[in-house]
A and B are shown apart, each in its own frame.
Chain A
Amino acid sequence: MQTKFWIGIGLSLMLLALGACAALDSGLGLPARHMSAEELGGETKTCTNCHDARGEKLAFGSFNHTATWMETHRQQAYQQEAVCTMCHQTSFCNDCHATQVELKPSLKNQSQTYRQMPHRGDYLTRHRIDGRVDPPSCFRCHGNPKTAETCARCHG
């Protein structure tokens, strides 16, 4: 109970700070929206084509969409969601991160084979092994009562 009291105090102080600081210029000057791929000529593929990997406003190198980005972007999204929203609407994230969807991402976007997507091919069979070997990776997207509805048909 004492822990909850201090957490409540902390959250309340942060609410006050949010109200007080929202009008102050942080000096970072990052825009809410980035130029679109069309405006960039459709050729720029990584952040560091134009920005410094360790810029004064942001370490842009951490946001390069590398060949392993699909598996490694968790930390960037948790720390800097506002950077994700500069280019992506939430609907883009919802292909994978959603409370209830029936079509797995690689099926809904079946012909977009150039996109990195989880569960390609016959994952119904492969998940029997991946689920045994690495259940924490399943839990991140299927870990609550609604997102686990796809699991409930067989797992109860």
Chain B
Amino acid sequence: MIMTGWSNRFFWLGAAALLCLPISVSAAEIRVKSETLVRGYERDTAAEEGAAVIPVYEYLQIDVDTPDEPGLSMHLYGWGRADLADNEYYEDATDGELLYGYLEYRRETARFNARLGRQYVFAGVTNESIDGLRLGSDLGRYFAGSLYGGQQVALASEQGRDGDSIYGGRLAHRLPGLYELGTSYKNIRNDSSDAEEMAGLDLTAYLPYDLNLHGLSTFNLITEDWAEHSYELRFSLGPLALRPYFQTFQYEDYFGTGANSANPFRFLAGSDEELTVGGADLTLPLGAAWVMVGKFKQYSYEVLDDNSTYYSAEATWSGADHSQIGGEFGFMSGDAAQNDYYLARLFAYWDQLPEALPLGFISGDLVYVGYDRAIFGEDKSLFASFGGGRKFMEEALELKLSADYSSDPYFDEDVRGMLTASYRFGLSR
């Protein structure tokens, strides 16, 4: 309760401080981006077999700022959905979410940054959406820090928000070009009791021979044990880039995040399992256009006494702009046949079409998966999607039309269509 009060005070103090800052809006730009998606497909509902489902999504983004200058700015992004057919497919015919909406103040010196409102925080052990205040800054040349406090958005559905709070921060020491070592902390309280408390260490070290070490360790302060260790090396042998990595997860400490957890992960927290993952990625560019990638990833379970390994190979050709053609083949193989499958994918995107054509780009995606053990009597999935689109009105408006087909264990045949209209409004004042 004390910390809830503390985080609330932190929030309101921040609000007051932001409003006291010198504000210049003379060169502010207002940019609005609207993205409207209309989808159409059929589903069996409690009331009707093969009922039409026609959801319309609106994604709206508004930014008010001076892009090339520090100062005060405002950013907002969210989505809403309505089912035009209203055939009881969705639990609620309308839905939506404010993904972020915050005021931001930036200073040129020290990269100082203050955000107030709904925002996403990525910092050490924190990967959360909060309603609150975040402060971040370089602390001289060799240190950097960030702090945040407020309420966690994800816990709003757990008996309301009374007594909920989140706070934490990250402090990093660095020698640019040599290393960065960070320590971070996160505390989430739900209904006035601790829901999750994590501390972490993160490290990036730039070693001799162009060897880079990246990694992080997370400690669960409630279960008092390590939740995760994830470390990787990155280096090159001639043109070949390699990334060997090693990870361990203790399920009780990793998934044991109290009221902040959810099924099916709550169940896993009680399994006492320990997962060890080891693997490597190999990336080989061939000329300016081709990139070949090989992946190997092995999973070992201590309690289950089981192993699985995923292997894959990818080849991609890239042309001008976003034009790209590629393919991937991978397979999962292990002790349990129910986990075995192979996957093949071909994809293409081409935006170098002749001017005479009515389309600016075409795209295609084909994914085929074969399962060693049938699922609902089916041992394969086939998915195909095709799309095309064009920009209009000096590229402010983009229209895209796509359709996809799937035949898989859940759907004998499923066809869906989607029309997307994106429009960028740009106003200066």
Contacts and interface: CB of A to CB of B under 8 A. Distances in A.
A66 B322 CA distance: 15
Interface in A125-142: 125-126, 128-129, 131-136, 138-140, 142
Nearest to A129: B339
Contact of B172 (A68, A79, A99, A103): A79
A126 B63 contact: no
Given A145-B260, A148-B265, A21 B176 contact: no
Interface in B278-297: 281, 283, 291, 293, 295
A120 B206 contact: no
Nearest to A91: B77
Interface in A80-124: 81-82, 84, 89-91, 93-94, 97-103, 107-108, 110-114, 120-122, 124
A36 to B, nearest CB: 9
A72 interface: yes
B400 A111 contact: yes
Contacts of B291: 67
B268 A72 contact: no
Contacts of A98: 97, 99, 120, 129
A136 B216 CA distance: 15
Contact of A22 (B137, B158, B180): B137
A23 interface: yes
B353 interface: no
Contact of B185 (A11, A68, A126, A147): A11
B397 to A, nearest CB: 16
Contact of B408 (A18, A21, A125): A125
B254 interface: yes
Contacts of A54: 177, 206
A61 B383 CA distance: 36
B122 A81 contact: yes
A136 B264 CA distance: 11
A2 interface: no
Given A33-B68, A82-B111, A146-B157, A111 B141 contact: no
Contact of A79 (B202, B381, B388): B202
Interface string A45-88: 00000000111111101100011100110010111011010000
A34 B351 CA distance: 25
Nearest to B234: A62
Interface residues of B, number: 140
Interface in B373-429: 375, 381-383, 385, 387-389, 400, 402, 404, 406, 408-410, 418, 420
A62 B182 contact: no
B140 interface: yes
B110 A26 contact: yes
A102 B95 contact: yes
A14 interface: yes
B15 interface: no
A80 to B, nearest CB: 8
Nearest 5 CB-CB pairs, A to B?
A111-B387, A121-B367, A148-B262, A26-B138, A121-B383
29 contacts: A7-B185, A11-B147, A14-B147, A18-B136, A18-B146, A26-B139, A26-B141, A55-B176, A62-B204, A62-B212, A67-B314, A68-B295, A78-B216, A79-B124, A82-B136, A97-B122, A99-B153, A103-B57, A110-B418, A111-B420, A112-B363, A113-B349, A113-B365, A122-B367, A122-B408, A125-B408, A129-B339, A136-B275, A145-B157
Given A62-B214, A75-B214, A79-B204, 8 more contacts: A14-B169, A66-B241, A71-B281, A78-B216, A97-B120, A136-B275, A146-B157, A155-B263
